[in-house]
Chain A
Amino acid sequence: MSSDYEFSDYEYEDDEESMDVEGGSASSEEDMGMDEVYDDEIKIVSEGKKAYEVDYKPLTLQQVKDLVVADVDYISTIFGVDSDVAALLLRHMDWNKDRLTEKYMDNASSISITAGVSPVPKPSYPTSDRSKRVTRSSKSSKKLGQPSSFEPFLCPICFDDTATDTLALSCGHTFCTGCWTVYTISKIRDEGEHRILCMAENCGVVALDPFVHKALGDDEDTIARYDELLVRNYVACNKNLKYCPYPSCDRSVSCPTASSRSALSTIVPTVSCGADPKHKFCFGCTIDGDHRPVLCTIAKMWLKKCRDDSETANWIKSNTKECSKCQSTIEKNGGCNHMTCKKCKYEFCWVCMGPWAEHGTAWYSCNRYDDKSGVDARDAQSKSRASLERYLHYYNRWANHEQSAKLSIELYMKTEKKMEEMQLTTDLTWIEVQFMKKAVDIVENCRTTLKWTYAMAYYLQNGNQKAMFEDNQRDLERAVEDLSELLEQPIESEYIPVLRQKVTDKSVYVQKRNEILLEDTAKGYLEERWKWNDIVIDTL
């Protein structure tokens, strides 16, 4: 568990006392009721971590490098090879030690060739039609790999015959150091490639680390980039590890409990690399930030829907109708009310949505709005509209919380100013006015939770479970809005102690509501209590 949480736990114990003090006041009656519920909950979870948290370990760059070294040492010891060779073999097998060991024991020379450790033996050198022709036509390739010691060396790439520094990999293809340097830098910097192949055509030999370092010379930046690429490759191959997605952050997180796909159907593994409280991300998917309480698959589904739908849906809603027969969406962009569906050829009236045939001679002016067939058609229409309405209901609330959470930066600035004011006008110390800042953090945090609860509710099947979920959602929402309002209030010096009390109490309450909601959903996943509606079932 991250230290962040430990801190908040401690704070919460502290704050509960202050709450009890105020227990008699009318405003906290509801709060007290909730406390009882919460007390039950906390007893269950107090033995270990909370149900909505996962065990994970943040790793620094150096710690990951240590893991790499450990794996390389292991392989180099049992194979009896150089550690650079072992590293190359491991990279080739995506760091799967067991499979590498198996393959190596089976046929060491074959895997050495495919991994690019050693060149293809001369007799079986692949001479495809193409390479034969190339060799014939371009004189330069004839010289490859067999520089005559009697002539001065002519680099076949840059045609420099004055170059004295040359380098070659185990395949013997010799080029001047200058070309190697340019090539290696371009591979690493432009292509983000850590596998530096020999420059000769069709040669599969890969440069070992010391060679890369030699080619790069004193280009520290590129060397650092190369090292980072190697670490990233290691992390990408290890399903227990994830790189922190935040820009220029070089930390990783280890979270074995969330490494399998099946685990993600019961947990939402929100982790943090520990570099910054903001570096929170989901171990299971690529959504950055905290998408609890929604499972990765559902969250992804929702985001995709929103990307595709939100604005379009609004437009469709106000500008189109559906064909009453095949439900195709139709935009009427001119002409009379006699509509013929392009898709199913059904003829209907745009005004009453009833079949056109029944309009008889009353062409182009519909007076049949109340006729039964027209009403039926409009009913069907409203059903399909209802699903759009339903989506927009959830979407608007989702978007609203996202917007409010974004505005929290503004709230921060305002709060900062307020805190300064408080220090000046009262004898409170800097530490004592921190409650404001903490409250802002809590609001932002809980709004993120709330935001995602709307995505969850959209996909939940109607029933008691959903009703309970929405009760929790409502309680949290109400509490968050109350706290938000408190934070926006003007500060008058004589009320500061009261305000402080209020904000602190409310903060504790909001946090509890948030925990209750997360705890309940997390347990619901484990107990398989949540039932998804048809939209999810159809998609999955």
Chain B
Amino acid sequence: MSVVYSRRLKKELQEIQIEQADPAKRAAGIQLLQADDLKTWYFSIEVLGDSLYKNETFHLMVRFDPEYPFKSPAVQFVVSDKVKPPIHPHVYTNGHICASILGDDWSPTLSVMAICITIQSMLASCKKKELPEGNDDYVRTAPDNPKKTRFVYHDDTV
């Protein structure tokens, strides 16, 4: 198990680093900030082109458990003095994200980069900046790890 976990993450990290070094391959607007170990990685995300999030930068925290890639990683926006999560109908103010790819629709063939790109496109296609319904209630009672929440994926439009 842990052999798969570390080999896979090392390989992913290696690919990301090769991609980042090559502007032709790099996914625009996504940058690896920190990956000191195989437990927690940080990315910065910008939405390029015309969108509601022009000139905004967000930080994404990705945490892995030993069952990765068979279980999805825990992904959330970083909330700190310096960076804030985006205002988006699927993003709670504590940084938790409601996206089916992080839960039911996760497939072991997906990768960390694929998640980043999905979240970037989720932001890009947003038409109205608003908080999720019931944000306050959720944030008040939410567990630290978003994977412990059972989200209902009801809205496929954004």
Contact = CB atoms under 8 A, between A and B. Distances in A.
A507 B43 CA distance: 75
Contact of A199 (B1, B7, B109): B109
Interface string B21-50: 000000100000000000000000000000
A182 interface: yes
A200 to B, nearest CB: 5
Contacts of B8: 157-159
Contacts of A157: 4, 8, 69, 108-109
A372 interface: no
B131 interface: no
B70 A201 contact: no
A137 B107 CA distance: 16
Contacts, number: 67
Interface in A91-133: 129-130, 133
B117 interface: yes
Interface string A146-171: 00000000001111100000000000
Contacts of B113: 137-138
B117 A137 contact: yes
A144 interface: yes
A449 to B, nearest CB: 39
Nearest to B30: A137
B108 A133 contact: no
Nearest to B1: A182
A179 interface: yes
Contacts of A186: 67, 70-71
A139 interface: yes
Contacts of B158: none
A146 B153 CA distance: 32
Nearest to A183: B70
Given A137-B27, A140-B109, A129 B11 contact: no
A158 B114 CA distance: 16
A257 interface: no
Nearest to B18: A139
The 10 A-B residue pairs with the shortest CB-CB distance in the complex, in nearest-first order: A201-B107, A158-B4, A134-B114, A159-B11, A138-B111, A157-B108, A199-B108, A186-B70, A183-B70, A133-B117
Interface of A: 129-130, 133-134, 137-141, 144, 156-160, 173, 178-179, 182-183, 186, 190, 199-203
18 contacts: A129-B121, A134-B114, A134-B117, A134-B118, A138-B114, A140-B111, A141-B114, A157-B8, A158-B7, A158-B8, A159-B11, A179-B108, A182-B70, A186-B70, A200-B109, A201-B107, A201-B110, A203-B107
Given A159-B8, A201-B109, A203-B107, 7 more contacts: A133-B117, A134-B118, A137-B19, A157-B4, A157-B108, A182-B4, A202-B107
